Amino acid sequence: MCRVLFYLRIIIKYGKCLISTMSFNLYMARISSRFDRLHSFTPSGMRGLMNYGLSCCVNTLLQVFSATWELADLLDRWAPVGGTGDSSRNVPLQLKKALMAMRSDQPQPAPHHNFLHCLDRNYIRLSIQHDADEVFLSILNFMQQQMDDKQLALEIQNLYKISVETHLQCSECNSVQCWTSYLLNLPLHIREDRNSLESCMTSFFELQELKCGDCCFCAQCGSKTPSKQGFKLLSLPRILCVHVNRFRSYRGCTQKLDCRVTFPETFDLWENLGEEAFSKDYVKNDCKYELFAVIVHSGSAMFGHYTAYVRHKGNHQWYFANDSHVEQATWKDVQTTYGGNYRNTAYMLMYRSTKEEEEQPQCSG
């Protein structure tokens, strides 16, 4: 599949193929679908997903949601009792059905047409190239809006909820404003050379100077003034989603950064970030995380393809999912997504807390 994508991009680059962007995307979806039918298998009970009209983005997210057994367990507990409206438009209901189908021990790719059409009815359109992080956040938002069991919906949100304390210090009068908010992922900006997950996270929690057009209103000064903004962690979730922001807007165009970003298989936030990244109200505990899924983007910002590496719950082995094609992989294979000389670059990282939820209530969101 990668070889097919490579040669077609070369053809377009040198002007030997005059098809529109939409035609190209639909054409690539057809090729991907044909490739999948020829090369699909399901090791260790994992099922692939056919590519229907550029559905690779949703396919990889479904693989990640399937590997997030905590989410699947919560959805299994949900028994809609009415109030879901049109079930064909209900994202959590169709997600529940899709995840159940993916657990079925069948040789064919799992059926997920209804979930795709459900997203389309909620304005995540088919046959359009989407951003995986945006679709991920949209699906979480739909679960909050469309589940009739609001307590269970809150438990799902808490799986990913990162509570942060924001500090804004005026550079003129030194007054400080503080407020609490939450994130469902940790968005990390990267430099255009070499990066590590540790250095990107450290930068996220460093004080940022806000000047000129970024000045904020200071109630004590009565005007917009330069200031310094910083974040501190109040609580950590069971599932820590990290978004490696590789896309930049430059002169009205979106560009992708293929620079190298390394990340570990296990990560201790307290040891790597230091005490200064945590609020004084944070109760220190074991904040170790283990990587269990990586969403990978290959290609450019305009012509891309999503795949995923996921760790199987049963045998703890890594698997590579490229639409309906699923094969066993290794940690060394996952490391090829660091970037640099590779076109396949990690875009989203999913870490699971290594401490049982009942033993660390402050890290449950």
What is the set of active-site residues? Answer: 56, 305
**What span, in angstroms and rounded, lies between the C-alpha atoms of 244 and 134?**
13
Closest CA to 230 of 213, 216, 241: 216
> Is residue 173 within 8 Å of 163, Cβ to Cβ?
no
Q: Give the pair of three-digit tokens for residue 69.
A: 């057994």
SS3 assignment for 194-252? EEEHHHHHHHHHCCEEECHHHCEEECCCCEEECEEEEEEEEECCCEEEEEEECEEEECC
Confirm if 363 and 235 have CB atoms less than 8 A apart.
Answer: yes
SS (H, E, C) 139-170: HHHHHHHHCCCHHHHHHHHHHHCEEEEEEEEE
And the tokens for 133? 């992080």
Q: Residue-wise over 283-307: b if at least 16 C-beta within 10 A, else e?
A: eeeebebebbbbbbbbbebebbbbb
CB 59 within 8 A of CB 40: no
Map residue 287 onto helix, strand or coil: coil
User: What residues contact residue 152 under an 8 Å CB cut-off, 6+ apart?
Assistant: 74, 77, 78
Q: Identify which of 161, 155, 156, 186 has the alpha carbon closest to the alpha carbon of residue 277.
A: 186
Helix or strand run (H / E) with residue 305: strand 304-311
